[in-house]
Amino acid sequence: MRADAVKEQLAAAGLADRYREFAVSSATVELAAQALHCEAGRIAKSLSVLLREGPAVIVVMGTARLDNRKFKDRFRQKAAFIPGTELERLVGHPQGGVCPFALPEGVPVYLDESLRAFDPVYPAAGAPNNAVELHLDELEGLTGGQWVDVCKSPEPADA
């Protein structure tokens, strides 16, 4: 199970106490926010995409949406999401539990600027009923992620 690899990586970084496991599903942003008793924006949503070079994971704020123009400008191709049936094979984690670390060798991680709206954030941790609490610098360190800007600006709350 990939959650074990996540736990090992957290322990090696001195962050084992940040792992959270739930008796309920946390497979969607809404369910994760309910399980963690936090706003949906704090959920660090992992978008698994297939680039020309292979699979990649883009971590975005829970309420953010991919901006197709920004994505195409950054990656020089249209966004192609990995089908749920292929996630474990390509990124090593199941649908609803894609963690942005403990990935197969060579899978790059990108951190979207939208994440900077919250600190800490909660990415999935390898299963559809868990998460990990991380500050942005810890997330960056664990993932080796490169910062990008590929999401739409969130709508103001009173719009």
CATH of the domain at 83: 3.90.960.10
Residue 155, classed as helix, strand or coil, is coil
CA dist 111 and 114 (Å) reads: 8
Helices (H) and strands (E) in the chain — how many of each? Answer: 5, 7
Structural domain includes residue 139: yes
Structural domain includes residue 155: no
Structural domain includes residue 156: no
Report angle CA 128, 10, 62 to the nearest 5 degrees: 45
Structural domain includes residue 18: yes
Structural domain includes residue 157: no
41 and 63 Cβ atoms separated by less than 8 Å: yes
Structural domain including 111 reads 2-148
Structural domain includes residue 121: yes
Structural domain includes residue 22: yes
As for how many domains the chain has, the answer is 1
Question: For the segment 31-64, what is each residue's pLDDT rounded down to a tens digit?
Answer: 999 999 999 999 999 999 999 999 999 999 999 9
DSSP code of residue 81: B
Question: For the segment 76-131, what is each residue's pLDDT rounded down to a tens digit?
Answer: 999 999 999 999 999 999 999 999 999 999 999 999 999 999 999 999 999 999 99
Query: Could you tell me which residue, 107 or 1, shows the higher pLDDT?
Result: 107
Beta-carbon neighbour count of residue 65 at 10 Å? 14
Structural domain includes residue 154: no
Whole-number pLDDT of residue 159: 43
Q: For the whole model, what pTM was predicted? A: 0.92
Report angle CA 26, 29, 30 to the nearest 5 degrees: 85
Closest CA relative to residue 100, chosen from 92, 150, 154, 81: 92
CA dist 67 and 74 (Å) reads: 11
